[in-house]
Amino acid sequence: MPRGQAKVPSKIKRMSSTTSPDSAAVEHKPSNFLRQIIEQDLAKGTYATRKWGGSPGDAAHHAAGQSDPSKIRTRFPPEPNGYLHIGHAKSICLNFGLARDYGGVCHLRFDDTNPEKEDVEYVNSIRDAIKWLGFDWNGSPDAEPYQASDYFDFMYRAAEYLIEAGHAYVDEQSAEEIRINRGDFGKPGTDSPFRTRTPAQNLARFREMRAGAHEDGAMVLRAKIDMASPNINLRDPAIYRIRRATHHNTGDKWCIYPMYTFAHPIEDALEQITHSICTLEFEDQRPFYDWLLEHLIEGGLLASPPPRQYEFARLNLTYVITSKRKLAQLVYDHRVSGWDDPRMPTIVGLRRRGYTPEAMQLFAERIGVTKSDSWIDYSTLEGCLRETLDVSAPRAMAVLDPIKLVLSNWDELMGAGTLDACTAPLHPHVPEMGQREFKIGKELWIERGDFEETPPKGFFRLFPGNKVRLKYGHVIECTSCSKDADGKIIEVQALLVPDTKSGTPGANAVKVKGVITWVAAADALSAEVRLYDRLFTDAQPDAGGKDFLECLNPTSLKVVQAVVEPSLATAKPDDKFQFERLGYFVADRADHTSAKPVFNLAVGLRDGWGK
Ligand code: ATP
Ligand code: MG
């Protein structure tokens, strides 16, 4: 494990490391190809002479600065057009984690070069999500994130430089002509008739574009590279377009906006990023990334050495969709209650479901970083949550489908109306967490499923004539049950076996095969419990053009009125518990109050996924 790793209990640390037979006890981070690249760069001093002007800027700005105290700079560049999801969490843990582990800094940069889609609601949720995952950006806990739109002036200057140096031209072909003339994999492209204009002509045209002299879409600025390149991305890619749109940061200052493929390398370079890590679909863009930065360094506009782009496989998780557009559709079609619905794979959804930052970091580490696409089983994510909660969550008893149990000899043995005090550890393996207290009395609530009038083979819980232990309480012997007019069982009766109370001498003299959980009617609290299941019934809900709305799981949420033990009266929103025998639950962060408790099922006790 790295320096400065968030507080993860030691049991989890061991499980998260790769272990070989002779190093099982040694804690270390699973190796990944990006770590190797960074370690080689550090050893070679690739970035040792870099300077940092204290803020993003051009070559001159950084040249006037100090030697960069950050050994590496990575970045996380979300478009603020939706809520972050589990895939982004992987990227966040990777980029911020590498910066932390190698004495660097990770930049949070809002990639807001597209004027139409941004919203401050998304900006705030992204900031919250990263903080919650345990990271700070830009080198200090109260630094402001960077915004790509702050670099529009520089981008414009870079475009003019490329034009003057003969590396860009204004193309007046229609979008359709440009598309056709680009050729395809088997066929080289055809030069635009505008490709041979002089730099002076191009500059004049580009300035007209900027001044608003032309309609949206009338012309574009293109890099002049090679229309016959086997990489279609190098066949004179568009770098600026005319788009009359008000931008949330720059207002109506611009009617031309840079294309993403042009903007992104420049953003990285202005911020002195060393390792620019992105998902595999950008691999074919890398030659243009390098081409652009090389020319701008040549022109003295950007500092050297340039950032390098590295690609890794995006996260695909079974039963989950990770497209912001599709997640938005679930929200706007009211298929879920909102972005933070506990069934959503958004960071806010997972958080409300009971996920912890430790579980998310453990997951990111465990799945590692690879260069080939694959699917991660949802149970891997659940396993990480289970492991982190197992060591930290206090225990409690709850009954989700209550039926009354009456101890018929209670009054006679204990005295009418008597309640007897019971104690139990808050955590079976962490005695420091202390004890919880509750009562046992004549009337108890037990799970309906813990009683069978005619037991199937191998059933060891309550049936007439059988003895079980009430966990932390006494041994009881079942005698009978009562039914309503429809034949539904409404009450179970049993006898208390004297001198069997847990923790008292001789309590184990009576041997039983079953132990059941329960809550006394006298001190039970009622609570709403929301039982969540997977949102989709198909493991790859949107693969191969499938309509993900067709495989929504109709029973992904079941709400029950449960009874819970009195220690849960002090539960606060976000508090997590293990309900014994049932699973891990969290007090809902939106709806839970002490007057009206609401608990969400976070994850079951065992991996029941796909079984
Ligand atoms: P979407 O296509 O759903 O809008 P996106 O990739 O366009 O997602 P961005 O806001 O551009 O979303 O993403 C910010 C960063 O998160 C990018 O660097 C991207 O590589 C990374 N990222 C997004 N989705 C995943 C994923 N499933 N696995 C790993 N990284 C991801
Ligand atoms: Mg994107």
For the chain, 611 residues long, the average pLDDT of each consecutive 10-residue run is 37 34 44 93 96 97 97 96 95 97 97 81 94 94 94 98 98 97 95 98 98 97 98 98 93 96 98 97 97 98 97 96 94 96 98 98 94 92 97 98 98 96 97 97 98 95 97 98 96 97 91 96 98 96 91 97 98 98 98 97 81 42
The verdict on 365 and 237 lying in the same domain is no
Ligand lying closest to the C-alpha of residue 87: 1
Is 266 among the domain residues? Answer: yes
Return the CATH number at 390.
Answer: 2.40.240.10
* 426-446 as b/e: b if 16+ CB within 10 A: bbeeeeeeeebebbbbbebbb
Q: What is the model's pLDDT at position 3?
A: 39
The verdict on 406 and 369 lying in the same domain is no
Ligand 1 lined by 88 (C-beta under 6 Å): yes
Q: Which of 353, 595, 405 is nearest to 517 (CA)?
A: 405
Ligand 2 center to 282 CA (angstroms): 11
Ligand lying closest to the C-alpha of residue 268: 1
Domain that holds residue 119: 10-151+260-315
519: buried, middle or exposed (CB in 10 Å: 19+, 13-18, 0-12)? Answer: buried
Under DSSP, is residue 527 helix (H, G, I), strand (E, B) or coil? Answer: strand
Of 297, 315, 333, the one marking the end of a domain is 315
Is 611 among the domain residues? Answer: no
Ligand 2 center to 183 CA (angstroms): 26
The verdict on 374 and 249 lying in the same domain is no
Q: What is the model's pLDDT at position 118?
A: 67
Ligand 1 lined by 348 (C-beta under 6 Å): no
The verdict on 414 and 444 lying in the same domain is yes
Under DSSP, is residue 451 helix (H, G, I), strand (E, B) or coil? Answer: strand
Q: What is the model's pLDDT at position 168?
A: 98
Is 335 among the domain residues? Answer: yes
Query: Which atom in ligand 1 lies closest to the alpha carbon of residue 79?
Result: 10
Write out the two tokens for 165: 């140096």
Q: What is the model's pLDDT at position 30?
A: 65
Ligand 1 center to 197 CA (angstroms): 38
Is 156 among the domain residues? Answer: no
Q: What is the Cα–Cα distance from 583 to 605, expressed in whole angstroms?
A: 5
Q: What is the Cα–Cα distance from 188 to 49, expressed in whole angstroms?
A: 41
Write out the two tokens for 216: 């949206």
Is 609 among the domain residues? Answer: no
* C-beta of residue 98 within 8 angstroms of C-beta of residue 34: yes
DSSP symbols for 534-592: -SBSSSSTTGGG--GGGGB-TTSEEEEEEEE-GGGGG--TT-EEEETTTEEEEE-TTT-
Return the CATH number at 276.
Answer: 3.40.50.620
* C-beta of residue 548 within 8 angstroms of C-beta of residue 564: no
Ligand lying closest to the C-alpha of residue 92: 1
DSSP symbols for 591-607: T--SSS-EEEEEE-SS-
Q: What is the model's pLDDT at position 121?
A: 87
Q: What is the Cα–Cα distance from 99 to 273, expressed in whole angstroms?
A: 11
Ligand 1 center to 87 CA (angstroms): 7
Q: Is 325 left (phi over 0), alpha (psi -120 to 50) or beta?
A: alpha
Write out the two tokens for 133: 């995952």
Q: Going along 326-412, which residue ranges are E strands?
A: 375-376, 395-396, 398-399, 402-407
Of 235, 256, 277, the one marking the end of a domain is 256
Write out the two tokens for 384: 């990480």
Ligand 1 lined by 190 (C-beta under 6 Å): no
Q: In what order do the strands lie in the sheet with 105-110?
A: 73-76, 105-110, 146-147
Ligand 1 mutation pick, 279, 320, 542, 548, max ligand atoms within 8 A of CB: 279
The verdict on 145 and 172 lying in the same domain is no
Is 161 among the domain residues? Answer: no
Ligand 1 lined by 87 (C-beta under 6 Å): yes
Query: Which atom in ligand 1 lies closest to the alpha carbon of residue 316?
Result: 27
Ligand 1 lined by 90 (C-beta under 6 Å): yes
CB atoms within 10 A of CB 405: 27
Q: What is the model's pLDDT at position 357?
A: 97
Q: What is the Cα–Cα distance from 300 to 433, expressed in whole angstroms?
A: 62
Q: What is the model's pLDDT at position 28?
A: 54
Q: How far is Cα of residue 250 from the mean position of the Cα atoms in its chain?
A: 31
Residue with tokens 């066929």: 187
The single-letter code of the amino acid at 116 is E
The verdict on 21 and 147 lying in the same domain is yes
The single-letter code of the amino acid at 485 is A
Helix (H) or strand (E) holding 222: strand 220-223
The verdict on 490 and 420 lying in the same domain is yes
Which residue's CA is the nearest one to ligand 1's atom 25?
A: 87
The verdict on 221 and 306 lying in the same domain is no
Q: What is the model's pLDDT at position 374?
A: 86
The verdict on 491 and 540 lying in the same domain is no
- CA–CA distances in Å: residue 69 to residues 37, 65, 136, 141, 277: 20, 11, 17, 17, 21
Q: What is the model's pLDDT at position 373?
A: 87
The total domain count for the chain is: 4
List the catalytic residues. Answer: 79, 314, 324
Q: What is the model's pLDDT at position 608?
A: 64
The verdict on 405 and 512 lying in the same domain is yes
The verdict on 584 and 534 lying in the same domain is yes
Query: Which atom in ligand 1 lies closest to the alpha carbon of residue 78?
Result: 10
Of 463, 483, 517, the one marking the end of a domain is 517
The verdict on 144 and 285 lying in the same domain is yes
